[in-house]
Structure 1
Amino acid sequence: MKKIIETSFDFAQLGPDLILDAIEAKGLLVESGLLALNSYENRVYQFLCDNNKRYVAKFYRPQRWSKQQIQEEHDFAWELQNHEIPVVAPLKLNGDTLHSHQGFYFAIFPSVGGRQFEVDNLDQLEWMGRFIGRIHQVAKGKSFKFRPTFSIQEHLFDSVETLKQTQLIPTSLHTAFFTILQQVVDLAAKRYQPASHIRLHGDCHPGNILWRDGPTFVDLDDCRAGPAIQDLWMMLSGDHQHQRLQMDTLVEAYEEFCEFDKAELALIEPLRAMRMVHYMAWLSRRWQDPAFPQAFPWFADAKYWEQQILALKEQLSALHEPSLTLF
């Protein structure tokens, strides 16, 4: 077995020649240039092959996921696809979906197009509810062995420690920021009490949905175990009454295929808080990657942290309010 060469956590060694060599080593001849797609955690490139088909090559960030964890993501995508659920799964080349080259794990996907999912379109929300219900019905059939589980330790407590170590928060804002941050973390941790966990897409927001005669789900990179509501709540938008109508539409369609525990509605605001805190910590951890200061220059500005103080105050208020209910 060929030994995998360890690479650094970033993509400093991932140059065009290495990318082309990796792709062509799998029997695909690149006929076009490499078009970098919008991805920061990994590196993703679209290209035209000599068979006149478009593909996407995804190079995983080194040392983030283990080989077993990435393979479990691929297997989950194929399991869903085999149940005729529109999920973009990696191609099987010589029987394998996960490949390695010069220390980088990578996969090749078919290039799939489509327009953006409209979160305020109730007809499209109904479609989404049915398909997420189908995903979860399949997902309940087994458990992840290697992928992590949504937890307050990772998303809240560890994230707070990361933020305490960053040099990006202006000293003048430290007291205000960390005071409200701790209040949000404490209350979210208290309210986050899921009764069960299933396999999830994990990052099922509108940006990971392509619409073409129905939804196509992409990017299972953050799939993990957690409460079912995690794959539903990011579809919500607008005021409280609008969100109530949206969730009612989603759940009614969802339950055509999978039973929904309405007690999980109480987890929406804790999960939103977890996402907010984890996102700030994620940017802090990745700041040494040259791509991040270029893509998120506002993260180092005092104005951003002032806005986060206000956002956290609003989230604290939301955590104190009664949970969303259905009609």
Structure 2
Amino acid sequence: MTATHSFSTLIPDTILDAVESTGLWSDSRIYSLNSYENRVYQIGIEDGSPVIAKFYRPDRWSKAQILEEHSLLLKLQVAGVPIVAPLMFEGKSLFCHKGIYFCLSPRLIGQHPEADNLDQLYQLGELIGQVHKEMSAVPFSERISVSPLMQMDQATSQILSHNLLPEKLKPLYKKQINKLRGMSEASIKAYWPTQLRPVHGDSHRSNLMLHEGQFHLLDFDDCQNGIAVQDLWLHITQTENPQQQLSEIIEGYETYMPFDIRELGLIDVFKSVRVICYAAWLQNRWHDPAFVKAFPWFDTENYWLNHLNELKNCELEWENMSR
């Protein structure tokens, strides 16, 4: 693929020049880390520990939105919350090199949580509760506010307007989406809280790290005004009997913050939105060679058949939970 994409100019020399523009001196070692939306690298530093360089995807977040994220992280760091905040250089945390915003942060070494470990689920609940407590004072003014129906509509419209979804599957897709949208609308009407609060927005297992016996929450790239259950439901891995997992997470969470049990009625809304938006995200980034390489099956009919099956499973799980 020869088309220009967001990171086509981000070659090794550019990466090292950007890092050294902050005053650090690299040893020229670059190790690419697993990130597709942005570009993230571990950079070796002369006479020092490696740093993590995060280059933000152009045109995704504004400078004001990124700075609001950084301001939050620095406040959480001062409050003693186990997160990873950006490094400051001459009072700045955000830099721009050849049109791409970037920041540097310390390297954190550890392990991701075990999916079914109840003790760890309790600890994760504690951490998310602590984060929410410290974030709750002031809503975001620059970041987005969650809107599941709007997200669902935008993702659906995007998918249907392109030709990656085979034409013969579009009627089935529309029918399944309409079912999920109707179920989502009913749940939102019944359970949506009166006020949103700042949340992480994408607190899946890969964004949590067990370091020196303590979990740390990473990558606040999607922080937004939302609801508590957004940051909790992603850790429920059992579909037949999730109550025990939920109990551990909520018990840990309520060490720091009260949890409105009515929000549990919105879990299936967020599950459905995540499945729909994931496909739209892949489609929207398909011009990026990194996506074509990492997800070579995306433009096949088999992918979309599996996607339709995922959407059907969302409906069936929803119905089972309602019984």
Q: Residue 228 of structure 1 aligns with which residue?
A: 228
Q: Is the 8 A contact 1:236 1:246 kept in 2?
A: yes
CA distance in 2, matches of 1:280, 1:189: 21
Q: Residue 37 of structure 2 aligns with which residue?
A: 41
CA distance in 2, matches of 1:50, 1:163: 47
Q: Residue 300 of structure 2 aligns with which residue?
A: 301
What are the within-5 Å matches in structure 2 for residues 54-93 of structure 1?
54-93=50-89
CA distance in 1, matches of 2:319, 2:188: 13
Q: Residue 106 of structure 1 aligns with which residue?
A: 102
Which stretch shows the higher mean deviation, 182-191 or 92-101?
182-191
The one of 158, 161, 166 aligned to 1:165: 161
Q: Is the 8 A contact 1:9 1:64 kept in 2?
A: no
Q: Is the 8 A contact 1:87 1:216 kept in 2?
A: yes
Report the CA distance between 1:10 and its aligned residue: 1.2
Q: Secondary structure at the match of 2:53?
A: strand
Report the CA distance between 1:323 and its aligned residue: 5.3
Q: Is the 8 A contact 2:51 2:104 kept in 1?
A: yes
Q: Secondary structure at the match of 2:26?
A: coil
Report the CA distance between 1:319 and its aligned residue: 2.8
Q: Is the 8 A contact 1:188 1:319 kept in 2?
A: no
Q: Secondary structure at the match of 1:106?
A: strand
CA distance in 1, matches of 2:268, 2:239: 14
Amino acid corresponding to residue 227 of structure 1 in structure 2: I
Cα RMSD after superposing both structures:
1.5
Report the CA distance between 1:250 and its aligned residue: 0.9
Gaps of 5+ in 2: none
TM-score of the aligned structures, taking structure 2 as reference length:
0.94
Q: Residue 115 of structure 2 aligns with which residue?
A: 119
Q: Give the ranges of 4+ consecutive aligned residues of structure 1 lying more than 6 Å apart after TM superposition.
A: none
Amino acid corresponding to residue 244 of structure 1 in structure 2: Q
**Cα deviations by residue, 1:153-186 (Å, 9 ceiling, x for unpaired):** 5420111110011211122222222221222123
Q: Is the 8 A contact 1:125 1:246 kept in 2?
A: yes
Q: Secondary structure at the match of 2:80?
A: coil
What are the within-5 Å matches in structure 2 for residues 252-291 of structure 1?
252-291=251-290
Amino acid corresponding to residue 271 of structure 1 in structure 2: F
Q: Secondary structure at the match of 1:271?
A: helix
Which stretch shows the higher mean deviation, 86-95 or 13-22?
13-22
What are the within-5 Å matches in structure 2 for residues 173-322 of structure 1?
173-193=169-189, 194-195=192-193, 196-212=195-211, 213-241=213-241, 243-322=242-321
CA distance in 1, matches of 2:219, 2:60: 16
Q: Is the 8 A contact 1:32 1:48 kept in 2?
A: yes
CA distance in 1, matches of 2:60, 2:40: 16
Q: Is the 8 A contact 2:148 2:269 kept in 1?
A: no
Amino acid corresponding to residue 209 of structure 2 in structure 1: L
- Identity rate, percent: 36
Q: Residue 97 of structure 1 aligns with which residue?
A: 93
Amino acid corresponding to residue 36 of structure 2 in structure 1: Y
**Cα deviations by residue, 1:33-55 (Å, 9 ceiling, x for unpaired):** 21111001001110110123110
TM-score of the aligned structures, taking structure 1 as reference length:
0.93
CA distance in 2, matches of 1:269, 1:129: 19
Report the CA distance between 1:146 and its aligned residue: 0.3
